Structure 1
Amino acid sequence: MDAGGPKGKAKSDINVTPLIDIVLVLLIVFIVMVPGLSKALPVVVPQVVKVDRPTPPDPKNPPLVVTIDQNGDLMLQNDKIQLAELADKLSPVVQLQPSGMRKVFLRVDEEQAYQYAVNVLDQIKVASDRAKRETALRPEFVGTGLDGGDVKVVAAVKKRTPTS
């Protein structure tokens, strides 16, 4: 049996042939893998547009504001109304707003019951549905499939300032 060294002694040199085989296999694997790793999707970062001041409200089309004050009184713009007549008075005014841009701002006093605010929202929804239906029946909209769109409601809670 040959141990590789003189007079039967062990050979102290490292056999580099298997080491070179392993290194070459790893090199080939990395050469094949690297192009696949570098593929990336293009990313478009949105640009920030700075506006100095917000656009002023349109004087021809002022925002519709429904207010529930601290006494529980319901007001459309500056007119005091009852809950039952909100849908009837709101629907024609909503129809005057541009299609797709119908908005109603709801201001609720923080002391008012949640259920009362929900009832007002229900009446706004009834007015929205009525305005859509009546807009779709106008001669210029018949057959187009357009109905003016839903009314979007922006709600805010009015907090009272503590008095000393």
Structure 2
Amino acid sequence: MAKAQEDGAVYDDINITPMLDLSYVLLVIFILMTTASVQGIQVNLPRASNTPSLAKPSTRAITITNTGALYLDAYPMATLADLEARLLQFKANTPEFPVIVKGDSAVQYEKVVEVLDLLGRIELNQIGLVTQRPAR
């Protein structure tokens, strides 16, 4: 049934915009719900015995305390030569592995530079320096 506008013109259009909005919302909800249900399926995967490992090598952490003491992961290193020997052992097994350097803010800058020089000498190129976020 056609309605008359105020100026007397007759229109017989149906505004389908709200209906399309509703259908898009329902489509998005349907997609999200089906995706969530697919990701939630638990599967016990089989284990292969002789496939090569695709895992990335573990990251090694060198810590320099405020007194200048060196640690590789959680193990104390007496000198830079000890640290170098230990890193060369790791490098023999894995040629490229990431190393992070955590230096205390009170440690002398020279000590951190010595460690970075050591890493450059033994050609470890994946180096990260750990810092804290600034206080807001």
Give the TM-score normalised by structure 2.
0.49
Give the TM-score normalised by structure 1.
0.42
- Larger Rg over CA atoms: 1
